[in-house]
Structure 1
């Protein structure tokens, strides 16, 4: 299932100017996907935040040199995200909003 389908299906597509998924990079992994997104928007690593629910999201952010926020309302638990080195871990959309807008 493509992420773009999920975003559209949930009615969230108007909130995003672009959606990237693992199918968009040839075996480069999360770091490559993050770098591709930064390049597309002309953003530096210090202007970006990776939000993810798995350890490889956090590791990809670290490899790309950008900050990361782990979300526990995805598929995995807080400990996995903390062990991966997330800069912050949140349990709700409200907490995510607070971290991003702080």
Structure 2
């Protein structure tokens, strides 16, 4: 099954793995030591991250090191950007409306 980067970042454990490995290359066992879940569960998360292209595994001697490849996150950034532009324009319009409301004198209704 081909996974995408959105599936990878949907899980908090995978986001934490990305964060850990972004600071330094770690063995799979070193990554697993940071979590209170089984090593097979961590391996499954690493496999998903690898399938999504966010982590690469490099063999060094007997050890397998996880290294981060953050280029794939550009897809998420691009997707989010379209909504940032939408909300920025909406919030700017709200700001202008509120400023105009401040400047407009309040009309009092006189009831007799």
Indicate the TM-score class for this superposition, using the shorter chain for normalisation. Answer: under 0.3
Q: Report the TM-score when normalising by structure 1.
A: 0.27
Larger radius of gyration: 2
Higher relative contact order (CA 8 A, sep 6+): 2
Q: Relative to total residues, which structure has the larger helix share, 1 or 2?
A: 2
